[in-house]
Amino acid sequence: MSSKLAALNHWVSEVSQLTQPDQIHWCDGSIVERDALVELMLERGELLALNPETHPDCYLHRSHPGDVARVEHLTFVCTADQADAGPNNNWMAPDQARASMDGLFTGCMRGRTLYVIPYCMGPIHSPYARCGVEITDSPYVVANMRIMTRMGADALARIEREGRFVRGLHSIGELDPERRFIMHFPEELSILSYGSGYGGNALLGKKCHALRIASWQARNEGWLAEHMLIVGIQNPQGETHYVAAAFPSACGKTNLAMLIPPVTHAGWKVWTIGDDICWLHPGPDGRLWAINPESGFFGVAPGTGRNTNPNALDMLDRDAIFTNVAVTAENGPWWEGKSDETPHKDWQGRDFDPGRGPAAHPNSRFTVSMRQCPSFSAEADNPAGVPISALIFGGRRESLVPLVFEALDWNHGVLVGASMASETTAAATGAVGVVRRDSMAMKPFCGYNFADYFSHWLSFGDRLEHLPKIFHVNWFRKGPDGKFLWPGFGDNLRVLQWILERCAGRAGAVETPIGLLPRREDLDLRGLESLNGSLDALLAIDPAGWRNEWADVGNYLDSFGARVPDALRAEHARVSALVGHVAPA
């Protein structure tokens, strides 16, 4: 097979000359194709069938034990001018990057099949959607891309119509961490990824295209590509309002996206549009409209249980791919926090031994179509997207940052997003639990200089007639005993409720030096009497702590040098003065 698009055929033949595959397979996205790939992977031991009675069409993939997370230190943005990639990215000169990647790719697909995956990020007929083609030698990547994107014949037809697509070339190589690189060339809309089969490194439609390359396209075209979930919140009056929320990887985006309201909140319902990535466009009515470019969830398994995310559990008993989870004696998938069953084999397939750590890898994942989610909203397929009432930033902060606050205006909100910080998680290799700045949860994903990204965010103050309000939340505050102060999960709806009431002009707040906070009486805490004293701590402002915080943010902004927009500096000076810190001019 080949395509009607000469540029695509040309690229495929160029890549096959370089990589020397035994065969080329153009993916059409059909079930027949999926079944054949699954068959092949079962034969080769790359997939293991789970219990067909309890988990029909569910499979387990055990990755190489050294290939279980994104590798930020091996991920590069290769722009002609290093300053365009910015201090927030690793950089390599494009020619040098291409030459060393060509070396790795030479002959790497001998004995393998080269798969051509045409895909569309976003509803197939949406003007906001963008297409790409991934070439890979991994059937596991094909099977995951089929769930995560709109992949196959329809995407190819759109690509042929438009003549434009993002090019992603991927090979698992030898899965050798010494020969592993994820390279982005935003000026050419292309990606080269070698040596890893793990999600964010290998499913190129996801972080590589839908965030790093798309953020670059978005800046040029006047929109935003963000690391945000999207939910619709329906109130008892039957009105649904949409919010998008940015949190770093493994901070509960999937749980929030599928939230089930607490029992006190009869008549409320949360609708899931997306759990990870959000493309935001100024709409014809002057509001911000959001689409989820993905069509599936690549969610963190550990911690997903009846109490934390029942919707997720309900979508995971059929048609799902599990990566690096444990299995029970009945050959069902298992992870810490799932159930009281005891794991039988750990994520590496060894007899479970608690002495060796958790049974499931802390970054073990499930891949499943969003259509299987009980709270799935058909609006996820709306080509026009959904209108956004509020944007929410959040991090994992055990101290200082209150449960929720509202920014005073757009520029203040952009500063709040730019100042975001969070404790690191297992989603990336490296130390876990270290607080690092993670502006808009985009530190690992912004495909260009953060200073320019902040300017781009500020520019929406003029682009939009009806700006969404901006909020910051923190579900992760801990008391002196090390326990979480806020119950989280379903109870997070109470915070979303206040946020939407603020948007409607119906809820009260007090102005503090860091923004607008709810008072106890502004929150709907029915049934949460157990909270008692912790609410005071959750809503307290510690001026000395905030002086340090803003001083640290000042140093952080300095690290981006002269390209940091003056308006952001001015905003930083304003909020610093409010907590009694004089920011240097």
Residue ranges in contact with Mn ion by CB under 5 A:
249, 276
User: Could you tell me which residues are beta bridge partners of residue 232?
Assistant: 242, 271
Instruction: Give the CB-nearest residue to ligand SAT.
Output: 200
Residue 567: strand, helix, or coil: helix
For residue 152, the partner it binds in ligand SAT, Mn ion, none, with Cβ less than 5 to 8 A by kind, is none
Closest CB to Mn ion among 299 and 402?
Answer: 299
How is the chain split among helix, strand and coil, in percent rounded to 5? 35, 25, 40
Give the relative orientation of helices 450-463 and 410-418 as an angle to the nearest 10 degrees: 160
CA atoms of 538 and 403, how far apart (whole Å) = 5
Among 61, 150, 184, 206, interactor with ligand SAT by CB under 6 A: 206
Determine phi and psi for 367, rounding to 5 degrees.
-120, 125
* DSSP-assigned states of every residue in 361-420: -TT-EEEEEGGG-TTB-GGGG-TT-EEEEEEEEE---SSSS-SEEE-SSHHHHHHHHHT-
For residue 212, the partner it binds in ligand SAT, Mn ion, none, with Cβ less than 5 to 8 A by kind, is none
Closest CB to ligand SAT among 367 and 576?
Answer: 367
Q: How far is the CB of 246 from Mn ion (least distance, A)?
A: 10
For residue 452, the partner it binds in Mn ion, ligand SAT, none, with Cβ less than 5 to 8 A by kind, is none
CA atoms of 582 and 585, how far apart (whole Å) = 9
Single-letter amino acid code for the residue at 489: F
For residue 206, the partner it binds in Mn ion, ligand SAT, none, with Cβ less than 5 to 8 A by kind, is ligand SAT
Which among 212, 250, 243, 219 is positioned nearest to 472, based on CA atoms? 243
Q: How far is the CB of 137 from ligand SAT (least distance, A)?
A: 19
The catalytic residue among 27, 78, 131, 251 is 251
For residue 182, the partner it binds in ligand SAT, Mn ion, none, with Cβ less than 5 to 8 A by kind, is none
Q: How far is the CB of 114 from ligand SAT (least distance, A)?
A: 23
Closest CB to ligand SAT among 21 and 274?
Answer: 274
Closest CB to ligand SAT among 423 and 549?
Answer: 423
CA atoms of 292 and 422, how far apart (whole Å) = 24
Q: How far is the CB of 298 from ligand SAT (least distance, A)?
A: 5
Among 70, 269, 281, 494, interactor with ligand SAT by CB under 6 A: 70
CB-CB contact of 425 with 504 (8 Å): no
Closest CB to ligand SAT among 131 and 427?
Answer: 427
Closest CB to ligand SAT among 140 and 298?
Answer: 298
CB-CB contact of 212 with 77 (8 Å): yes
CA atoms of 32 and 46, how far apart (whole Å) = 19
Give the relative orientation of helices 450-463 and 566-578 as an angle to the nearest 10 degrees: 90
Binders of ligand SAT among 233-262, rule CB under 6 A?
249
For residue 200, the partner it binds in ligand SAT, Mn ion, none, with Cβ less than 5 to 8 A by kind, is ligand SAT
- Interface mask toward ligand SAT for 323-342; x: CB under 6 A: --------------------
Tokens representing 100 are 């060393």
Q: How far is the CB of 551 from Mn ion (least distance, A)?
A: 30
Q: How far is the CB of 278 from ligand SAT (least distance, A)?
A: 13
Among 77, 156, 427, 441, interactor with ligand SAT by CB under 6 A: 427
User: Could you tell me which residues are beta bridge partners of residue 131?
Assistant: 120
Please give the size of the binding site for ligand SAT, defined by CB under 6 A.
8
Closest CB to ligand SAT among 207 and 209?
Answer: 207
Q: How far is the CB of 153 from Mn ion (least distance, A)?
A: 28
Q: How far is the CB of 203 from ligand SAT (least distance, A)?
A: 6
CB-CB contact of 247 with 277 (8 Å): no
For tokens 């008692």, the residue is 532
Q: How far is the CB of 411 from ligand SAT (least distance, A)?
A: 28
CB-CB contact of 91 with 79 (8 Å): yes
Buried b (16+ CB within 10 A) or exposed e, 328-366: beebbbbbbbbeeeebbbbbeeeebeeeeebbbbbbbbb
For tokens 């609410």, the residue is 535
* DSSP-assigned states of every residue in 25-63: EE----HHHHHHHHHHHHHHTSSEE--TTTSTTEEEEPP
Closest CB to ligand SAT among 275 and 381?
Answer: 275
Closest CB to ligand SAT among 70 and 158?
Answer: 70
Q: Does 207 bind ligand SAT (CB under 6 A)?
A: yes
CA atoms of 470 and 67, how far apart (whole Å) = 37
Residues in the chain: 585
For residue 427, the partner it binds in Mn ion, ligand SAT, none, with Cβ less than 5 to 8 A by kind, is ligand SAT
CA atoms of 515 and 509, how far apart (whole Å) = 9
Binders of ligand SAT among 456-515, rule CB under 6 A?
none
Binders of ligand SAT among 281-310, rule CB under 6 A?
298
For residue 199, the partner it binds in Mn ion, ligand SAT, none, with Cβ less than 5 to 8 A by kind, is ligand SAT
CA atoms of 272 and 296, how far apart (whole Å) = 11
For residue 294, the partner it binds in Mn ion, ligand SAT, none, with Cβ less than 5 to 8 A by kind, is none
Binders of ligand SAT among 184-203, rule CB under 6 A?
199-200
Active site residue 251: yes
Kindly list the residues in this chain that would bind ligand SAT in the complex (CB under 6 A). 70, 199-200, 206-207, 249, 298, 427
Residues with catalytic roles: 251
